[in-house]
Amino acid sequence: MRLLLQNGQILSKDNNLVQKDILIEGSKVIQIATEIQVEDGVQVIPLAGKLVIPGLIDMHVHLREPGFEKKETIETGSLAAARGGFTTIACMPNTRPVIDTPETVENIIQEAERVGKARVLPLGAITVRELGQELTDFKAMKEAGIVALSDDGVGVQSSHMMKEAMRKAHALGLSIVAHCEDDTLAKNGCVHDGEFAKKHGLPGIPNEAEAIHVGRDILLAEDVGVHYHVCHISTEQSVRLVREAKSRGQKVTAEVTPHHLLLTDGDIPGMDPLYKMNPPLRSAEDRAALIAGLKDGTIEIIATDHAPHTLEEKAMGMEKAPFGIVGLETAFPLMYTHLVRTGELLLSELVEKMTSKPAEIFGLPYGELAEGKRADITVIDLEIEKAIDPASFYSKGKNTPFTGWKCKGWPVLTLLNGMITYQENER
């Protein structure tokens, strides 16, 4: 199949928009030029000056399958990813059963390939059933197709267990992707340990619950030499620790979510569990540190931590409702509208943090728009403004605190290996 994307705009190296045609044959981009003439029979999609970028990459997604299909499935999550402009997503292992065997890894990859709407890269659990007691078979899971290791959803409490995991992961060339949370400090907290918690008499999760694990793991990883990646970083202390490790040349990386970049615990409008996530929304000072870290490169990538739940679960109240919000279908518009259009980031910096940087960090052959490369492509309308409406989501999860937020920068076309996986107005 040959496909021409006509009159799109791509980002030049000096952050200017340059009008180009892009010719795709099969799964590859074969030509990028100012004007491409094609013969009859080539499908032509006129873009009318819309932005064309590499397919977005999200290294932190909860697809919920197997075990929690009422919340999400690989199919609905992949559809949501495509609608959000994502071509590659990494799914976290806290399913039921946990992704802790090669058989489960293979099943997920096979189902994602059957659906064909997004490239799904499973992360394997560090410990059996994520219980922190026994390491999984890293080698067997790597051979089955995992991209990294994580016990996301819980922190590995034992320093000895984490160091052994790092040693084995390093020997296999696998990254450790850490959910950083000290259970003795987090306890049964449901929001940040700040003014909102005090006002409503809720148990709080202090900054140190995250930062202590970040600091511990950086020291362990320094000794071992493994690539260590911090999930959903949320505190000023954690950013400071990562920045210091990087200044010494240590291979430490970090991701941040759109919700931690845009919201604080001061934005929570009363006892609304749609604002409950883990890590929780922190203080204004923490949010400022996250934005500063994103701008100076301490935090390399933006990841959604897409965490769908049923609305019935989210209606259980602030203390009992599960943690998490959805993010695949809103991430780029939110970040473009509230970081790029406000001058916090250049458009090229946002695109890099959602495409080439995650690919570079995890050694993935994606995230680049160039001749001869995979035709993983996302087309963005930077002009049209729409309000976020959960009723329109392809995800089963409608749990978002951003309902009604008006955004620009909406994906209108997504291609995976040259095949259209999402086109606006064609569900």
Catalytically active residues are 305
Which long-range contacts does 354-358 make (Cβ < 8 Å, 24+ apart)? 354/56, 354/57, 354/58, 354/301, 354/302, 355/53, 355/54, 355/55, 355/56, 355/57, 356/54, 357/300, 357/301, 358/57, 358/58, 358/59, 358/300, 358/301, 358/303
Contact at 8 Å (CB) between 258 and 335?
yes
Contact 106, 144 (CB under 8 A): yes
Residue 362 one-letter amino acid = F
* 170 in a known ligand binding site: no
232 labelled binding-site residue: yes
Tell me whether residue 305 is annotated as binding.
Answer: yes
Quick check: helix, strand or coil at residue 90? strand
Contact yes or no for 331/84 (Cβ under 8 A)? yes
On whether 138 is known to bind a ligand per the annotation, the reply is no
Query: 381 pairs with which residues across the strands?
Result: 410
| Secondary structure of 258-325 in HEC code, one letter for each residue | HHHHHCCHHHCCCCCHHHCCCCCCCCHHHHHHHHHHHHHCCCCEECCCECCCCHHHHCCCCCCCCCCC
The pairing of beta strand 377-381 with beta strand 51-54? antiparallel
Q: Is 360 helix (H, G, I), strand (E, B) or coil?
A: helix
Q: Is 323 annotated as a binding residue?
A: yes
213 appears as a binding residue in the annotation? no
Distance CA 224, CA 98 (A): 26
φ, ψ for residue 364 (rounded to 5)? -100, 140
Long-range contacts, stretch 155-159, CB < 8 angstroms, 24+ apart: 155/179, 155/180, 155/181, 155/182, 155/183, 155/213, 156/126, 156/127, 156/132, 157/132, 157/182, 157/183, 158/132, 159/216, 159/220
306 known ligand binder: no
Q: Is residue 179 a known part of a binding site?
A: yes
Q: Is 94 annotated as a binding residue?
A: yes
CA distance to 8, 83, 145, 365, 422, per residue, from 373 (Å):
18, 22, 22, 9, 20
Residue 217 in marked binding region: no
Q: Check: CB of residue 5 under 8 Å from CB of residue 25.
A: no
- Binding-site annotation, residues: 60, 62-64, 94, 152, 179, 232, 278, 305, 309, 323-324
- Binding-site annotation, residues for substrate: 62-64, 94, 278, 309, 323-324
